[in-house]
Amino acid sequence: MKTLKLLILLCINAVVNFLPQELKACGFTLYKEEWRFWTFDPNIGADPGLRRMFYSIDFFHEGFQNSYFYDPFEDDKFHETDEYQTNVKQWLKHCKELDPNNSLTEKDITTLLYETLPQDYFKLREGLIKENKFMAFLFQHASLLAYIDFAKKCEYFSNYPKETWACDDCPRIISPSHIEKGSRYNYTWYESIPNDTNQTPQLIELGKQMLAKTQDLFLKERIAFQMVRLSYYQGLFESTNAYYQQYLANLPNNNWLKNNALMYTVLKLEGAEKNIGLARIFGVCPDKRYRCVQLFDKSFFEATLKLTKNIHEEALVRIIFAINQPMEQLQNLQKITQLEPNNPLLPMLWVREINKLEDWVMGSYYSEFGSTRFDYWDEFRLQAIQNQRKKDLVYAAQVTKVLEQTYQNSRPAYKDMYALCLGFVKFMQKDLNGAQQAYALVQTEKLNQIAKVQFALCKAMLTLSNAEKITPKMEEEVAAVLHLLQTNQTLYPQRREMLYSLVNFMAKEFIQRGENAKGLMLYGFSAKPYASHPLLGLGNVYTQIYTHVSPQDIDHMLHIIGKTNKTALEKFLCGKVFQYTYDYDSESKQIWDINKLRDIQSMLWVQEDKLFEAYKVLQQIDTSYWSNDVYQDFKVDNPFCLNPWNAHLPMNFTKVQYNKASFLKELIRLKTSLPQLKGEEKARVLMSVANAYYSMTYNGKYWIMQKNYQGGGEPWEDSSDVDPTYYSGARARYYYKQILQTSKDPKLIGGTVYILQVAFENSNSQSAANKMVLKNNMEAKDIYEQMSMNCDLFYEFIKTYNYFGPPKKINARTS
């Protein structure tokens, strides 16, 4: 037992030691696909039906089976259910042939075939006659009804395997009174268990009889398909093959029943055999392409190539493999081009390479999270990203070279698309002239809607990168592209993601060209993570502004917001902004919070100790602003009172309430009164001022005077000496030290030294310096030592010497 405990402790120790050292917040994990940089629309290389094979992190990066994020239900949203529609149309046609006067609709058929669970179907069958014309029609045609009944039963056995009698945690009754225990930890993995073998033989028998009896070819094919499926799910693989061969194999290649049945005959195979079967289905059955890619086993790639019978099959195997690969596929692309230069899937594969490259090359620059090649929490990633970026640029150069040849040899229909790819890959390499030349090859008048938007986007990015300064004309171009991406997002959902990536790109480009205000405001229009936040994990637009802005920039922002004649870009910038990144819900966007911007500006002034400036800004903020949750705290506490043991502890003896403005007003008043004061009175005001500054440090309860947020990574008072340059720590210390030079009161001196010791100066040298003050003041030393040992004494000190209200003799100035 002891050994076990030791082992457990060692394991925990190992886990703790090897945890990422820069975890910013508990439980927060950023999903790579969310920050992936992409502005190149994959739809320009393929029709939307192929979208599940576009480059993305979740589906193919880690492989389907291992991907944590893989969600088959999500996939269904993109599934182009052509075969369902085909089947419905075929049923409609068949019913018309049987009764030309029927008034059936596709909706009736779809409801019954695809929207009624088999369990419900049998409960509602008669009731549906009134509601559903197809059901009524079936009741008039016994053979059709018999088939649908049969098909629904088959559907149940194929689709609801969990409702079977298989049970691993059940005990087994071997013989009367003789029981064998079940296993608690051996849960049934439902997908892996066969259906109830006690009941399905009856169904198979029924299918056989129907197959033998029916003369209707339409029904015969469908019964055969059900038999293929049923046999497959029962593990009767020979029957699966036999039914397929006998009834379906001779149907045309584009017959969905044939192809679906073929899939079942392939699924039972393994390794390269299975792969080649999948590749063949991939070639003839668009609806099954995605599933084929999913099931393709990459480890048998070479072996599969050996089984190909012709050039087309080899191309198919290579295409599936390429789609399944997250990394560079240039060589494979070249090979496919060589085999089938006009393969219609080639453009999609090329765009995949472009999407990879922009993620790797540009993603590592335009967000703090870098390229998705790396985990953002990896502490060594910065160097690794730089090293990898060099390699990626070499790869980009190789891609450029091959793309140039591809452009030359491509069919006219693809030339514009390849020219765009070529321009963009050159742009990524900062070959701006080369990009310009490639874009010049594009015949814009021939472009479709999607390509037109892409072209405008590529041009705007290029224009911006070419510029040293942002001109009004450029702003117009930028605004036009942003507007283009914003419109019709329902029709083209990819534009939303592209817009966010583009915003992150433009924000950085604007800032680099001295347009801080506009650049930072742009971040408000991106929900794609661009900055990390020590507490929240992700920065939002206001934290981004707080981190990078100057007080003058905020004036500029407020000017833009308040302008009456706005330019197109300014109009865009003054729209509703995301309050949080990683939030794709446009409904939660809000207009700019001017009070928040002013609040941030006041923080910046306070950081520079320009209290008058800060106060002036705060005076412009609406009173209602202070009623939010964060600022509620100010109303119950007094920043001029301090307990350095726990600076957040409420110490509101005076029952005075403050908000940011009234606090500053009082601090200014105290500070301006100081030159007119002397002796003990001055010392006590100094104490209040010092306390106030201390409250504004990251340790204090009024840290929000100069920080937009308080992160977990702040240095804490008990860990080391306070960095005197860090916010107002040094200012607080300055005023405490002033007390030592001003006061003769031993209690105040002893207490102040104690505060300095506890709050600021933990090192031996500092400690020794402070104690020098006490060397010739035995009473103060005595008080200091007593305080060190007795908390109650210090508590009494705080009550006596902390903020006591404005000095009576002095007429305090307001501001």
| Cα-based distances in Å from 351 to 60, 530, 547 | 15, 24, 36
Asked if 131 touches other proteins (CB under 8 A), the answer is yes
The 10 Å Cβ neighbour count of residue 410 is 21
* Minimal distance, residue 810 CB to other proteins, in Å: 55
Binding string, residues 216-235; x marks residues near other proteins by CB under 8 A: --------------------
Structure-block tokens of residue 273? 């055999």
Asked if 47 touches other proteins (CB under 8 A), the answer is no
Residue 283 CA, distance from chain mean position? 34
By C-beta, is 149 or 714 nearer to other proteins? 149
By C-beta, is 11 or 173 nearer to other proteins? 173
* Minimal distance, residue 165 CB to other proteins, in Å: 6
Which of 140, 199, 386, 710 touches other proteins (CB under 8 A)?
A: 199
By C-beta, is 113 or 320 nearer to other proteins? 113
Which of 21, 65, 66, 177 touches other proteins (CB under 8 A)?
A: 177
Number of residues that bind other proteins (CB under 8 A): 41
* Minimal distance, residue 182 CB to other proteins, in Å: 4
By C-beta, is 445 or 585 nearer to other proteins? 585
* Minimal distance, residue 171 CB to other proteins, in Å: 5
The 10 Å Cβ neighbour count of residue 640 is 27
* Minimal distance, residue 166 CB to other proteins, in Å: 10
Asked if 201 touches other proteins (CB under 8 A), the answer is no
By C-beta, is 184 or 469 nearer to other proteins? 184
Structure-block tokens of residue 162? 């969990």
By C-beta, is 23 or 167 nearer to other proteins? 167
Contact region for other proteins (CB under 8 A) — 10-18, 164-172, 716-724, 782-790? 164-172
Contact region for other proteins (CB under 8 A) — 100-108, 120-128, 317-325, 431-439? 120-128
By C-beta, is 114 or 165 nearer to other proteins? 165
Q: In whole angstroms, what is the distance from residue 574 CA to residue 650 CA?
A: 40
Asked if 127 touches other proteins (CB under 8 A), the answer is yes
| Cα-based distances in Å from 534 to 209, 629, 710, 730 | 70, 20, 8, 24
Which of 71, 78, 81, 165 touches other proteins (CB under 8 A)?
A: 165
Q: Are 214 and 220 in contact (CB under 8 A)?
A: yes
Contact region for other proteins (CB under 8 A) — 6-14, 101-109, 180-188, 710-718? 180-188
Asked if 130 touches other proteins (CB under 8 A), the answer is yes
Letter for the amino acid at 3? T
Asked if 624 touches other proteins (CB under 8 A), the answer is no
Question: Could you say which residues in the range 551-610 bind other proteins, by CB under 8 A?
Answer: 585, 587
By C-beta, is 185 or 380 nearer to other proteins? 185
* Minimal distance, residue 346 CB to other proteins, in Å: 35
Binding string, residues 132-161; x marks residues near other proteins by CB under 8 A: -----------------x--xx-xxx--x-
Which of 12, 23, 170, 249 touches other proteins (CB under 8 A)?
A: 170
Structure-block tokens of residue 289? 């392409």
Asked if 169 touches other proteins (CB under 8 A), the answer is yes
Q: Are 529 and 582 in contact (CB under 8 A)?
A: yes
Asked if 107 touches other proteins (CB under 8 A), the answer is no
By C-beta, is 130 or 390 nearer to other proteins? 130
Contact region for other proteins (CB under 8 A) — 171-179, 263-271, 443-451, 621-629? 171-179
* Minimal distance, residue 538 CB to other proteins, in Å: 20
Residue with tokens 């409801």: 111
Q: In whole angstroms, what is the distance from residue 357 CA to residue 363 CA?
A: 9
Asked if 179 touches other proteins (CB under 8 A), the answer is yes
By C-beta, is 128 or 692 nearer to other proteins? 128
Asked if 163 touches other proteins (CB under 8 A), the answer is yes
By C-beta, is 2 or 181 nearer to other proteins? 181
Asked if 198 touches other proteins (CB under 8 A), the answer is yes
Residues with Cβ within 8 Å of residue 436, at least 6 apart in sequence: 423, 462
Q: In whole angstroms, what is the distance from residue 786 CA to residue 780 CA?
A: 10
Asked if 183 touches other proteins (CB under 8 A), the answer is yes
The 10 Å Cβ neighbour count of residue 357 is 25
Asked if 10 touches other proteins (CB under 8 A), the answer is no
* Minimal distance, residue 57 CB to other proteins, in Å: 23
Q: How many residues does the chain have?
A: 815
| Cα-based distances in Å from 202 to 194, 197, 211, 545 | 16, 10, 14, 71
537: helix, strand or coil: strand
By C-beta, is 119 or 331 nearer to other proteins? 119
Secondary structure (H, E, C), 195-263: CCCCCHHHHHHHHHHHHHHCCCHHHHHHHHHHHHHHHHHCCCHHHHHHHHHHHHCCCCCCCHHHHHHHH
The 10 Å Cβ neighbour count of residue 806 is 15
Asked if 205 touches other proteins (CB under 8 A), the answer is no
Residue with tokens 């409960």: 123
Type and span of the H or E element at 179:
strand 178-180
Residue with tokens 């981004």: 544
Letter for the amino acid at 372? T
533: helix, strand or coil: strand
By C-beta, is 136 or 393 nearer to other proteins? 136
Q: Are 800 and 747 in contact (CB under 8 A)?
A: yes
The 10 Å Cβ neighbour count of residue 118 is 18
* Minimal distance, residue 6 CB to other proteins, in Å: 24
Residues with Cβ within 8 Å of residue 239, at least 6 apart in sequence: 227, 231
Residues with Cβ within 8 Å of residue 164, at least 6 apart in sequence: 193, 194, 195, 196
| Concatenated DSSP letters of 351-366 | HHHHHHHIIIIIHHHH
Q: Are 695 and 702 in contact (CB under 8 A)?
A: yes
What φ, ψ does residue 180 adopt, rounded to 5°? -110, 130
* Minimal distance, residue 197 CB to other proteins, in Å: 12
Question: 530-542 b/e with 16+ CB inside 10 Å = b?
Answer: bbbbbebbbbbbb
Strand partners, 537: 533
Nearest by Cα to 399 from 324, 342, 329, 320: 329
By C-beta, is 153 or 707 nearer to other proteins? 153
Asked if 192 touches other proteins (CB under 8 A), the answer is no
Contact region for other proteins (CB under 8 A) — 81-89, 181-189, 552-560, 660-668? 181-189
* Minimal distance, residue 624 CB to other proteins, in Å: 22
Q: Are 42 and 55 in contact (CB under 8 A)?
A: yes
* Minimal distance, residue 173 CB to other proteins, in Å: 5
Asked if 173 touches other proteins (CB under 8 A), the answer is yes
Nearest by Cα to 536 from 35, 22, 25, 23: 25
By C-beta, is 178 or 808 nearer to other proteins? 178
Binding string, residues 666-705; x marks residues near other proteins by CB under 8 A: ----------------------------------------
Binding residues vs other proteins (CB under 8 A): 117-124, 127-128, 130-131, 149, 152-153, 155-157, 160, 163-165, 167, 169-173, 176-177, 179, 181-184, 196, 198-199, 202, 585, 587
